[in-house]
Every structure is written in structure tokens, then in C-alpha cells.
Structure 1
């Protein structure tokens, strides 16, 4: 038991996150464990999933590739076999290893609630790995001493088996008698009905992902229509599948992007193109997404701007002493600060980004560790994601429902998600009024109605999803490779071509004789056609 708890605590050391008692209400005495092993393993898998996928290099790079933010080397596609090594190794050694233990031991003890949750987590993790790397160890993975050199399965074959795995997970969750993990389940507190919705929404996501594969088209349409008819998808914010970070600095369990930015030195620049696009589009989410440390910062350390000081993607120039000047992450979804300061030279034609009710005088500040809560989130599968996916499939496959209605629901529910986020401890910012939300959504619907072709309407849907997915760059990265939307800026000085997949762990390639050659940047994964 002590060994298991130590493995669980190791997860938090990945990003200086050692405060498991803040995430979990579980046994605090490793020498006298008071709870079953499964009650320790399940939350450990969930923390590993959230930290390694949502808080690690995988999401950071995807965020930069998709120009939600920028970091010099990442924005120039300058990656090596070491770039993603930690997350690759940790997913196999921690999350997936513990998941297999839960499935095995839970089946033996008939704790099928745990088994079902573990299978759904497993399906999600492997789907992300295939999306990012293509072929990965699957059928021979995490077997321990019997097989330390697993073969790499084709991504297409892995995906096919994930649908089976999801169905098995749902069946296990529906078995009776049901033993709830309670608070050991960080996602849903043991609510199996919500887990079933999460599983079905994951299935919807994967079906949409493979819609371009010719041999899958008819099955995709049939299965998506069946999911719509069954009405067991995530459709409200209270059902969202989200990983939540904590608020404490010592021990550290805040969102990693808050940790890296709310201090004297910083890792990121805000992407200048993204900030300007939100400003020019009169998008009210700008004040929630970005915090300006001063009123005059502009691109590349200039001082005659409107405070939105960042860099364009792929900028190779050196970094000046601008940590106290550049813009940084705002309150949503990273737990930073809401920007209620006036914006200089704001066009009077804007309806939603105005200076009405802003601080007088302005109260910009240089952010530090005490600013904001750090209680950010990583959205895994949400009601707004469900609606954006259904809008996409309605337009591209003719699946059930009206794309316009799905678009309306997607934007509305994302604005509601921001409001819900602002009710969590420490995340202080103004709620978006219902009337403002309705007017904002109606303006976008007017643009949608003016679009005359399915392609033009899809462009509106996917651009809105792109804006809503701020905080989950992986989802936007998948969407972009599948649809080519949004239109991204060409990096100023790229080192490599746009990456159609990530590079394998160097350690895996050098220690596993069954590993393939290193990935290149230009070969797409199987569903990217």
C-alpha cells in the first residue's frame, strides 16, 4: 500500500504539484491505510490524466501551435525527441499502468463502477495519444516485466478497439449492485449517470474525428444519429467532464499556466494575432482570456499600444526585459485576473467590448503569485463541445438536428461555462448578463444566416469552437487538422513544417527495439485525410 501511495504522490511532482490532500479527500497515513486500493488508484489516474494531458507539454505545444498563445521555440515548430518525453513516459508508467490495475482488481472484486470509469479514462487517453502520435503501443502496453518492449499498434486499429472499450465501460457502469467511489472520483463524485454521458460524448468525439475515413462514413452517420436519439450525451454545464486544478501555492496544485505566468519571469507571450482577432471581432471573452499588466504595451515591447502586448507566432527575436509589460493569461480558464481596466483607443462602434464600468482610474498591475486563484480547469468533454461537434456533423454529414441550433447552444453554453467558472472560490470577475449573452449570440447567428454555403457556415462554427476551446489546445489542434479551420497565421521564422503529428519519446525509441522510426512533421495521422 505504501508503494501505491508513493506512486500516487509522484504524479504531483511532475509540475511541482505535491499537494494531493488538496485534490483528494483520501487516506493521509501511508502506514495505516484506511481505504481500499481502488480508492487510491482511481484519483491517481485522474490526476495523471489532467496533469499530463491538460497541464503538461502536450497541451502547451498544441496551444502554441494553434496560436492561442506563443512560446519562441514551440511557435517555430522546433521540437525534438525530448520535447514530449515526460508526458509520454508518465501516461504509460502512471495513468495507464494504474488503470490496468483497477480493471484487473476491480473485475476480480466485482467493483464494476471503478472498472467502468477506468475503461472510459483509458479510451480517452489512448484516443489523445493516437491523435497526437499516430501509432502507439496498445495491445502489448503496460504489461510490466512480461513485455518491456511492446509493439506499436496502428492508430486506426487502436481507435476501432476504443469504441469497444467505451461500450464495455458503459456496460460495467450499468451493472448492479453499484458501488460508488464517492469522493475518490474527482470528476463526477461517483455519479454513474454522468459517467455514461461522458462516455457517450467521448464516442461522439471519436466518431466525428474519423468522419473523413471513407470506409467509416456510413457507420459514423448511423452511430451519431443513434447517440442523438438516445439523449445520453453531455448537454448541460452540470454534466461537463472537466479536470479542476487547486488553489494552493505550497504545496503547489495550481494550474501550470498560472504557475508559470503569475511570477516575475514568464514562459509565454500572448499571441498577438489571437488578441487582435478577438478585439477586432468585438468578442467579450477577451477581457476574461487576457490580462494586461499595463495600459500602453504593444507588440514586441513597444509602448504605444492598448496594453495587449504580445508576439506574433514564430517570432525568433531575443526576449527583452518585458516580463512586467507583456500581457498574460486572464481569469478564464487558468484562474488568473479579470481585466476590468479601460482599453485605449477603443473604437466607439464596438458593442460588447466597451469601457463602460471599467476601473477609474485604471488599476493595471504586475501580476505575482498572490494574484488570481490558480484554480484553472482543463475541459475534456463539455456541453458546448457536444453542440459544436453536432453542428459540424450536421453540416458535413447531414446528421440529425439543425446546425444553427447547435451553434447557438454551443456559444451560449460556453458563455455559461465562463459564468460558472466565476462562481468557484477565488475566481473573481463579473458575470456575463443574460441579455448581453443573448445579444452576443444573436449577432453571430446573423452572420451564420448570411453565409450562403455549407462551407461558409462550417467556417463560422469552427471559428467559434476555436475561440471556445481556449484552454484545450489539443482539441483545436485536432479540429484544425480535420477541417483546416481557423485560418492560422504563417509563423515568422519556422524551423520545421507545420507538425501533423508530435514526435515520439526519445527514450522509447532508444530502449524499445519494436519502436518505429521517429515521426516526421508531414505525415498525417490516419483520420487526417
Structure 2
């Protein structure tokens, strides 16, 4: 996603420049970084908000996935893995009101500033820009909730007003959640009248306000499941106007262009290169799916080889050094896979901090879902530019399968949980399998057919119904986390709320430090804002996290 931020900035800046040259007379006495509301193009502002939001979602999802073993995490010490600059880009894309120089010198204006400008334009113009403002407030509300989830406290009441609050204070998480829900109320009011898009590019729903209204309610569901508000959660469900089918899935669509700008899925761009793959996949997730014979495994992962050193091939110190190592005692005691998953699923375990060997044409790459890569048809070819789906994947943000897991989480009995989990798995597998068509050269016949999918789901539900206690909760959480592959923002929340699954791999390091309950504040903001003092640890809990303090929770850490 690092490159994607650059391209977002380039696209927005280019669009702003083009619009200025073609349709307006520039007053050279006015800084182009301080345009008045009547000089700004609402459509470009909306584009910028949507792209900043999409960029943030990719970055936050990656962090959630790493900590919950859905993705691989490099480094043995949690505190050192996630320093103060971890949230710098996310924070600036949310709040920045001027120049922000991430390395390429382009203009980057944050969501808050642009939402405020859109509101001003809508208030002062005879043209109704309710669609622009309603969409923007929806995205703003969701981003505020996620910043609370990951940081604990964020700026809201004093944000976006540098003249009155040059050093804005942080608000407590509960009040920001309440403010975000109020923003959703405003968004609903603006979108309920089916306002015209006025030529705006809706990068998510193509201008369909009915889908945006479903999203508004679904973000409410996200807030209620996170905070355990059963009554309000059930009220939204009873109303029925939320994301419940794949047709309404909330996702960001990538393209296949390699240059000017690179519109491909960021993971595809990183893995499908002339020099091979560059991402390590999670041993925990690959082994879980392999052991379960999960129908999604060939879509999630693309193997470049059919055997893994130390598992079903001879150990190889050059390409997989840990295949010759003796596992540490905490891995031996727990019966965990330290290094090698068989059948060519060549990844890394949680916290592995070994150097980078010449394994780029051996390690498992991202597959056709959601990154638009290759479908794994056991051909064991190599990755490269343009192969598979060319990167035309998606950033899954809130899918109907996720919502069914939320409903199962909030259900009052195990029978309802099982029914909703079945529905979630059916939706997830159907969506994942639909991505096979992106890889036109793949032999999709090696994938699971309808009978195999049914047998898989029946088996999971039977195991869930037969299990008790931790075993039951682990089955549920494992399937939820598997479904969240590619869009794992909520996995981090679930893990801190419940402590499940307890089956996740431990860190390579026996004493990796306390599991992060929240991240450090963005260092750029701490340095420039005298109202902020950086945290000394990452053990501060979010207002909705009422579990025991670290390091005893989550138990698997």
C-alpha cells in the first residue's frame, strides 16, 4: 500500500491541476494549497476522500491481519514491530489540512478537511451536493470508529479547526463512537432523498444511494457488535436494510494498469514481479485451511512449488533456514508448526525474523482472491507481470459474509449461531470461487465442486455443534478469521474481545512482550502537537475492551 498512497496523491493532484487549468482562472495571489470553498471542485474532493479512505482501509486491514495471524508478522517483539510511525500515514490521510510530504512532494489533504469543505460548498451553493456530503460522512464515521479501535483515543471535537485549536486534544473512545454514530445519522438524512450524483465518481456503489443507506446501517451494526449493544444491533437487523447479499458488498475495486498510475491490487503489485514474490503468507492460516480441506485455499494462495523444505522435501538452509532448526520449547510443548507447512505452502510463522533468502520463486504468493493473482491449479508455475487476473482484485471492507458472522456473534443461542455461520460460509465460498474467472488460463476443475463445498460446510457445522467450551469457540473464530482474509480490520477487534481462537501460532520469541491492545499514537502528530504525550506501552485498552489486562490476555499470547 505504500506505493498506492503515492498514486492516490498523484491522481488527486493531477485532477486538481487539470481542473484548474481548464475551467478556472487562477488568482496567483492565492496558494493552491489553501483554496477557498468556491474554488474547489466537489467531485474532486469526493474522489480524494474515497481514495484516502480506501488507502487507510488497506493499511489498517494489514495491521489487523498481522496481529491475528491471518497474515504473517515479521519481528519477535511487538513493541519494536509497531513503532510510533505506524499510524503516521493513516492519521495524515484522515486529518491533514495542508502539505504532507510522504516522500514524493505531492499535495495530500485529509478526509476531515475535504469533508468540511464539501459541507461549506453545499451550504453556500444553490446546487444540492447532498450525495457528496452523505457519502463522505459515511466514510468519515467508519474511519473514526476504526481509529478508536486501533488507537483507543483520537481527535474529533477539536479536529479540523486549526485557528481555534492549533493543538487539538484527544477525545475518549466512547465519545468518538457516539459522534461517529451521529455522523451516520446525518449521512442517512442526506442520502435518503436519493440525491443526484452530479457527475461524481462513486468508486464503491456507482451512485446507488440505496446501497449507501445499507452501508450506513451496516456500519451501525459494526459499532453495536463491537460494543456489545444487542438491543440496537437487533433493531437494525429487524429493519432489514443492511448488507445481506453479495450484491451489496462494500469493497474497493482495483484495476490492471501497471503505470501512471498503478491501479493493481497492492499485494499483486508486490508479489507478481519479474523477480518473484515478495510477501510471506501466514503458516497458521495456510495450515488451518490445508488441514480442513477448505475450498477457498486454492483461491487465496498460489503455490510456486509442490513441496516445502522440512515438511515434504529435504531441509534447505539456503532457501528455508528454519527447516534445519530445532523448534523452541514453547513450540514443541504446544505442538505448533515452527517452520514448514507441507504441499508447497511455503510461508512463515508468526514473528519469524529471519533474513530474506533467495526463495522468491518458491514462496507461496497471493492468489486470485482477493488480489487478482493466479488460481492455484497445481501447475506450480511462477508469478510474473500480468499473469493471473492482472491485479484486478478487490479490497474487501464489509462483506455480507462478515455481517453473518457478526449476527452469529450476537445470537442468543448456539442453534442460531450455527445457522448464521453456515450462511456466512456459503456466501464467502461463493464469492471467493467467483474470482476464479479472473485467471482465464487456469484449470478451475481442480477446485472444489458444489458437492465438496457442501460437504465442507456440513462438516464445519457438525464439528461446531458437537464441540463445547473453547473447542466450539475456536471453530467459530477460525472460520471467521479465514473468511476475513484480505479484509481483516475486524479480526483484531474480535480477538481482543474474546481471546479466540486460542489455536493461533505463538510468537517465535518466547517472551515477545505484551500483545498490543492498542497502537502507539502517530509520532508525527505527537512531535507537532504539544497536547499529546506518546504512550510508553501498547497495553492501553479501548473503552469496549473489558478483558483482563495484558500480558495475561489474550491467552494465546
TM-score tier by shorter-chain length is 0.7 to 0.9
| Compared CA separation, residues 447 and 73, structure 1 to 2 (3 A) | same
Q: Cα offset for 1:429?
A: 7.0
Q: Does 1:79 align with 2:46?
A: no
Q: Does 1:486 align with 2:477?
A: no
Q: Cα offset for 1:469?
A: 0.2
5, 9, 15: which one aligns with 1:14: 5
Q: Which residue of 1 aligns with 2:105?
A: none
171, 176, 181: which one aligns with 1:153: 171
| Compared CA separation, residues 456 and 325, structure 1 to 2 (3 A) | closer
370, 392, 395: which one aligns with 1:375: 392
Q: Which residue of 2 aligns with 1:165?
A: 183
TM norm structure 2: 0.79
Q: What is the CA–CA distance in structure 2 between the aligned matches of 1:366 and 1:497, rounded to whole Å?
A: 39
Q: Which residue of 2 aligns with 1:345?
A: none
Q: Which residue of 2 aligns with 1:40?
A: 44
Q: Which residue of 2 aligns with 1:207?
A: 224
| Compared CA separation, residues 76 and 139, structure 1 to 2 (3 A) | closer
428, 450, 464: which one aligns with 1:448: 464
Q: Which residue of 2 aligns with 1:6?
A: none
Q: Does 1:97 align with 2:76?
A: no
- Once the two structures are overlaid, the 10-residue window that deviates more, 428-437 or 370-379, is 428-437
Q: Which residue of 1 aligns with 2:482?
A: 467
Q: What is the CA–CA distance in structure 2 between the aligned matches of 1:422 and 1:27, rounded to whole Å?
A: 39
Aligned 8 A contact 2:523 2:534 in 1: no
Aligned 8 A contact 2:276 2:384 in 1: no
State the SS of the aligned residue for 2:395.
Answer: strand
State the SS of the aligned residue for 1:14.
Answer: helix
Q: Does 1:509 align with 2:511?
A: no
Q: What is the CA–CA distance in structure 2 between the aligned matches of 1:76 and 1:452, rounded to whole Å?
A: 32
Q: Does 1:230 align with 2:244?
A: no
| Compared CA separation, residues 115 and 448, structure 1 to 2 (3 A) | same
Q: What is the CA–CA distance in structure 2 between the aligned matches of 1:25 and 1:74, rounded to whole Å?
A: 43
Q: Cα offset for 1:518?
A: 2.3
| Compared CA separation, residues 421 and 31, structure 1 to 2 (3 A) | farther
Aligned 8 A contact 1:134 1:154 in 2: yes
Map 1:313-324 to 2 at 5 A.
313-324=350-361
Q: What is the CA–CA distance in structure 2 between the aligned matches of 1:129 and 1:254, rounded to whole Å?
A: 26
Q: What is the CA–CA distance in structure 1 between the aligned matches of 2:225 and 2:143, rounded to whole Å?
A: 17
| Compared CA separation, residues 332 and 16, structure 1 to 2 (3 A) | same
Q: Which residue of 2 aligns with 1:31?
A: 21
| Compared CA separation, residues 36 and 80, structure 1 to 2 (3 A) | closer
Q: Which residue of 1 aligns with 2:197?
A: 180
Q: What is the CA–CA distance in structure 1 between the aligned matches of 2:278 and 2:67, rounded to whole Å?
A: 15
Q: Deviations over 1:129-188 (max 9, x none)?
A: 000101111111122444331110001110112122212211111136x22356511111
Q: Cα offset for 1:312?
A: 1.2
Q: Cα offset for 1:451?
A: 2.8
Q: What is the CA–CA distance in structure 2 between the aligned matches of 1:183 and 1:419, rounded to whole Å?
A: 32
Instruction: Give the aligned CA root-mean-square deviation in angstroms.
Output: 2.9
Q: Which residue of 2 aligns with 1:5?
A: none
383, 392, 400: which one aligns with 2:409: 392
Q: Does 1:326 align with 2:363?
A: yes
| Structure 1 gaps, min length 5 | 1-10, 212-219, 342-362
Q: What is the CA–CA distance in structure 1 between the aligned matches of 2:11 and 2:257, rounded to whole Å?
A: 11
Q: Which residue of 1 aligns with 2:430?
A: 416
Q: Cα offset for 1:480?
A: 0.7
Q: Which residue of 2 aligns with 1:68?
A: 70
Q: What is the CA–CA distance in structure 2 between the aligned matches of 1:378 and 1:186, rounded to whole Å?
A: 12
Aligned 8 A contact 2:8 2:52 in 1: no
State the SS of the aligned residue for 2:397.
Answer: strand
Q: Deviations over 1:471-523 (max 9, x none)?
A: 12322111111111222221012653211111111111111011133262212
| Compared CA separation, residues 74 and 227, structure 1 to 2 (3 A) | farther
Q: What is the CA–CA distance in structure 2 between the aligned matches of 1:243 and 1:165, rounded to whole Å?
A: 22
| Compared CA separation, residues 72 and 118, structure 1 to 2 (3 A) | same
Q: What is the CA–CA distance in structure 2 between the aligned matches of 1:442 and 1:228, rounded to whole Å?
A: 26
Q: What is the CA–CA distance in structure 2 between the aligned matches of 1:485 and 1:191, rounded to whole Å?
A: 37
State the SS of the aligned residue for 2:382.
Answer: coil
Q: What is the CA–CA distance in structure 1 between the aligned matches of 2:77 and 2:308, rounded to whole Å?
A: 21
TM norm structure 1: 0.83
| Compared CA separation, residues 29 and 60, structure 1 to 2 (3 A) | same
| Compared CA separation, residues 15 and 367, structure 1 to 2 (3 A) | farther
Aligned 8 A contact 2:137 2:186 in 1: yes
State the SS of the aligned residue for 1:184.
Answer: coil
Q: What is the CA–CA distance in structure 1 between the aligned matches of 2:448 and 2:196, rounded to whole Å?
A: 39
Q: What is the CA–CA distance in structure 2 between the aligned matches of 1:386 and 1:250, rounded to whole Å?
A: 36
| Compared CA separation, residues 184 and 65, structure 1 to 2 (3 A) | same
- Once the two structures are overlaid, the 10-residue window that deviates more, 260-269 or 519-528, is 260-269
| Compared CA separation, residues 519 and 377, structure 1 to 2 (3 A) | farther
Q: Which residue of 1 aligns with 2:317?
A: none
Q: What is the CA–CA distance in structure 2 between the aligned matches of 1:117 and 1:519, rounded to whole Å?
A: 37
Q: What is the CA–CA distance in structure 2 between the aligned matches of 1:106 and 1:256, rounded to whole Å?
A: 34
Q: Deviations over 1:32-54 (max 9, x none)?
A: 14998221111221111111221
Q: What is the CA–CA distance in structure 2 between the aligned matches of 1:103 and 1:282, rounded to whole Å?
A: 51
